[in-house]
Amino acid sequence: MARFHDLEVTDVRKTIRDAVVVTLKPANGAAEEFDFTQGQYLTFRRDFDGEELRRSYSICAGKDEGILQVGIKRVDGGAFSTWANTELQAGDTLQAMAPMGSFFTALDRATEKNYLGFAGGSGITPVLSILKTTLAAEPNASFTLVYANKGVNTIMFREELEDLKNLYMGRFNVIHVLESDAQEIDLFTGLVTEEKCAQLFKHWIDIQSVDTAFICGPEPMMLGIASALRTAGLGDSQIKFELFASAQPGRAKRKATATDAASSANQTKAAITLDGATQTVEMGKDMTLLDAALENAMDAPYACKAGVCSTCRCKVLEGEVEMVANHALEDYEVEKGYVLSCQAYPVTDNVVVDYDQ
């Protein structure tokens, strides 16, 4: 189960106008928990007006740097990222889960690999961690970074990347592709699309020699690049993705409160939505929501039926239900109205639940 640890903020530094790099130090002896692998991310939680928000941000530090750092770019309407960019300061305490994610490959000093990284905007954070770690750990590795941004002034870590180029002369190369700022070479202007990649592979990048490619950016960019890489002959196992969807909801809505009180009757009318279709069923209060759905030929998801796996999770929109066991959902999910339907018995005479939320 997920567990949060306290982290002390030791530094908050602006990298561009609307992005900060936050340096963290595990508190209360949790250092071991935060021994990360390059390319992993941290999930933070914080209360905003009594409601818990969770956000994930990638670690941008290299493994060998001995520090824990994340990059946080401000998103329009994003409560957490705005707060981190305007109010967070050294001395504050943040709470995060141990590093997660598998956006990395194993390192081996003896190999002589060629890596290719693609980053769009703040997608640079995990790629930066990977390239710093890899270049330090594999003395014969080379790394080419294709870095897409709107314009020169929105390039995160621009100076740091220049420094790395000097440090790893001949092994590290950056191609900046800018959407709106014209560059000397036409190819480096515009969006990083499938066609753009194909041209880069023709003139600038020896794609045949690439062992592994890393992509982190918005959805359309990831699709285009992956498609170009496959056309160029890379297999699934050679392409590593990291997607942090731009569509993360800004703030969760409050759980609907019970509209009717419990009554003495032992029957409940349950409106159950699954795959966009809603069925209203009569069920006994001694039956779980999951069984009611299954009995009515709905293909509701489940696996363990013991409250441990969370496959059967659904959201209660109206009415009240009671869970007899819960080993999978966390308090904040329960607060939002999520229940394990295999463990949930109706309490009120009417309930409305949804498997699609």
Partner 1 sequence: MTDEMSIENYLAQGGVLTNPSNVPPRYRAELMKMMATFVDSELAGAAGFADIINEGPGIKARIAAAKIVLEKSDSAEKVLRIMGDFGADTERYADHHPWTARLERNADIGQSRTKHDMRLAVFNYPLEGWADAVMMNLLMGRAVALQLEELSHVSYQPLAEAFRAILPVEAHHAELAEEGLMALVEAQGTQALQELADYWWPRVAASFGQEASEKFEGLKAMGLRRTQNAELKARWQQDAGAILGKTGLKPAA
Binder among 79, 187, 191, 334 for partner 1 (CB under 8 A): 191
- Per CB under 8 A, does 306 bind partner 1? yes
Task: Say if residues 6 and 27 touch (Cβ distance below 8 Å).
Answer: yes
- Per CB under 8 A, does 70 bind partner 1? no
* Interacting span for partner 1 (CB under 8 A) from 63-71, 201-209, 264-272, 322-330: 322-330
Q: Which of residues 258-287 bind partner 1 (CB under 8 A)?
A: 275
**Shortest approach of partner 1 to residue 261 CB, angstroms?**
29
Instruction: Kindly compute the dihedral angle of the four CA atoms of residues 125, 129, 130, 133, in this order, to the nearest 10 degrees.
Output: 170
At residue 284, the 3 state secondary structure works out as strand
Task: Say if residues 173 and 144 touch (Cβ distance below 8 Å).
Answer: yes
DSSP string, 301-347: --S-SSSSS-TTEEEEEES-EEES--SS--HHHHHTTEEEGGGEEE-
Residue number with CB closer to partner 1 (150 or 202):
150
- Per CB under 8 A, does 56 bind partner 1? yes
- Per CB under 8 A, does 256 bind partner 1? no
Which among 240, 271, 256 is positioned nearest to 346, based on CA atoms?
271
Task: Say if residues 153 and 121 touch (Cβ distance below 8 Å).
Answer: no
> Residue 100 carries which DSSP code?
B
Binder among 11, 51, 320, 330 for partner 1 (CB under 8 A): 330
**Shortest approach of partner 1 to residue 284 CB, angstroms?**
18
- Per CB under 8 A, does 190 bind partner 1? no
**Shortest approach of partner 1 to residue 263 CB, angstroms?**
30
Task: Say if residues 176 and 92 touch (Cβ distance below 8 Å).
Answer: no
- Per CB under 8 A, does 4 bind partner 1? no
Backbone φ, ψ for residue 146 (5° rounding):
-105, 115
How many degrees, rounded to 5, is the angle at CA 302 between CA 299 and CA 303? 135
Residue number with CB closer to partner 1 (90 or 223):
223
**Shortest approach of partner 1 to residue 59 CB, angstroms?**
13
Based on DSSP, count helices (H) and strands (E) in the chain, helices before strands: 7, 18
Residue type, 125: T
Q: Which of residues 210-229 bind partner 1 (CB under 8 A)?
A: 217-223, 226-227
Letters for 22-41 (x = contact with partner 1 by CB under 8 A, - = none) are: -------------------x
Residue type, 102: S
Question: Which residues here bind partner 1, judged by CB under 8 A?
Answer: 1-2, 41, 43, 54, 56, 100-103, 120-121, 148-150, 179, 191, 217-223, 226-227, 236-237, 240-248, 275, 299, 301-306, 308-313, 327-330, 333, 355-357
